[in-house]
């Protein structure tokens, strides 16, 4: 327990512009935790290098991801915002937990199979063991609650298994974390393949709406969104494209599906898609403006990074001192 508040931890990779799926399903909801919880929100740059990165671009995207966290409403005075590689205990605990994670557990991870297929020329050890590092990210802060997308539930279950295994061997060391999956926006689908989740790494730009896209680009993408051969704007089976657009519309407006269906009853798909595009673009305008302001002040971003790393380091060091002692490492006396 930290300052009598429970701990929330979440991390986002700096591996491309975040999508409205990341925004609606995760980041937009993060600020609601800050009153009740001590929140750690991390830019997980160490996870990003399991795939080859251009160094200058990775650095730039690290600043951008931190700025996006704040532009989406995360106050650095109420939340610990930091960069993973600035806190060396992540790597240290990651290696230790590798030694308490079974090969078979890692080989069953569906994301390893997916990423191996996409990066067949670079199936590196980090790609295989990164769930252990993800477990370290979470367990390092004695995290009670982890906001996760449905595609990360398997990794969270592994983190829980590792924590339980370590605790059984050495006595209570780690809090066993619970997942928190938001209902609204938990699964925003591709605009071009509505059976598939929207992904920031999708090669088809028309499939993905990014938080920082211009209003014109957002509206163009919604106008090109795949629907179906019918003409009714209703939510349900066989209407995956329209269902996805209704979900997006209700997430941004706060209306129910029934209210949205009633609003667009008798209207055409073109009019509906334009309305969804406009409400999305208008809702994101303040985020884009605040992001631009923050990116123009690199010194402030670096100040937030330093402040966040210092806070995270203090908590991480306490956990690592306990872990090192339990597994039998010696400590230098200062």
pLDDT one-digit tens code per residue, 113-171 = 777 777 777 788 888 899 999 999 999 999 999 987 767 788 899 999 999 999 999 99
Say which of 5, 200, 215, 223 is annotated catalytic: 200
How confident is the model at residue 2, as a pLDDT?
Answer: 47
Q: Which among 241, 287, 303 has a CA at the least distance from the CA of 83?
A: 303
Say which of 197, 221, 239, 273 is annotated catalytic: 197
Enter the pTM of the model.
Answer: 0.89
Residues of the chain below pLDDT 70: 1-3, 16, 150, 182-186, 334
How far apart (Å, rounded) are the C-alpha atoms in residues 69 and 306?
Answer: 16
Query: 231: which 2 tokens?
Result: 């003409």
In the chain, CATH 3.40.50.620 covers 6-181+298-327
How confident is the model at residue 236, as a pLDDT?
Answer: 83
Write out the E strands in the chain. 6-12, 37-43, 79-83, 145-147, 178-180
Is residue 239 flagged as an active site residue? Answer: no
How confident is the model at residue 204, as a pLDDT?
Answer: 92
Domain 205-292 is of which CATH architecture?
Answer: Orthogonal Bundle (1.10)
Phi-psi region of 266 (alpha: psi -120 to 50; beta: other; left: phi over 0): left
In the chain, CATH 1.10.240.10 covers 205-292
What CATH number is given for 6-181+298-327 in this structure? 3.40.50.620
Say which of 115, 221, 239, 273 is annotated catalytic: 115
How confident is the model at residue 122, as a pLDDT?
Answer: 77
Is residue 200 flagged as an active site residue? Answer: yes
Q: Phi and psi for 197 in degrees, rounded to 5? A: -65, 145
Alpha carbons within 13 A on the beta-carbon side of 246: 22
Token look-up 């969804």 returns: 276
């Amino acid at each position: 327990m930290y300052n009598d508040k429970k701990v929330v931890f979440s991390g986002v990779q700096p591996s491309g512009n975040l999508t409205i799926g990341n925004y609606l399903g995760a980041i937009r909801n993060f600020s609601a935790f800050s009153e009740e919880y001590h929140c750690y929100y991390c830019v997980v740059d160490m996870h990003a290098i399991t795939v080859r990165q251009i160094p200058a671009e990775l650095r730039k995207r690290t600043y951008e991801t931190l700025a996006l966290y704040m532009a989406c409403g995360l106050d650095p005075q109420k939340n610990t915002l930091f960069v993973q590689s600035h806190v060396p205990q992540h790597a240290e605990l990651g290696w230790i937990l590798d030694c308490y994670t079974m090969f078979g557990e890692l080989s069953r991870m569906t994301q390893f199979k997916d990423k191996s297929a996409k990066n067949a020329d670079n199936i590196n050890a980090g790609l295989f063991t990164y769930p252990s590092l993800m477990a370290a990210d979470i367990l390092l802060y004695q995290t009670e609650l982890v906001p996760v997308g449905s595609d990360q539930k398997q990794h969270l279950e592994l983190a829980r298994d590792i924590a339980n295994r370590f605790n059984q061997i050495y006595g209570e060391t780690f809090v066993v974390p619970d997942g928190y999956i938001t209902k609204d926006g938990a699964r925003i689908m591709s605009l071009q393949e509505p059976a598939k989740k929207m992904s920031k790494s999708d090669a088809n730009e028309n499939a993905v709406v990014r938080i920082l896209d211009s209003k014109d680009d957002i509206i163009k993408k919604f106008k090109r969104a795949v629907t179906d051969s019918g003409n009714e704007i209703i939510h349900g089976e066989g209407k995956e494209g329209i269902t996805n657009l209704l979900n997006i519309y209700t997430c941004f407006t706060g209306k129910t599906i029934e209210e949205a269906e009633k609003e667009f009853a008798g209207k055409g798909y073109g009019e509906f898609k334009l309305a969804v595009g406009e409400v999305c673009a208008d809702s994101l305008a303040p985020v884009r403006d605040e992001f631009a302001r923050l990116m123009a002040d690199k010194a402030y971003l670096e100040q937030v990074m330093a402040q966040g790393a210092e806070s995270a380091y203090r908590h991480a060091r306490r956990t690592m001192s306990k872990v090192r002692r339990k597994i039998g490492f010696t400590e230098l006396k200062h």
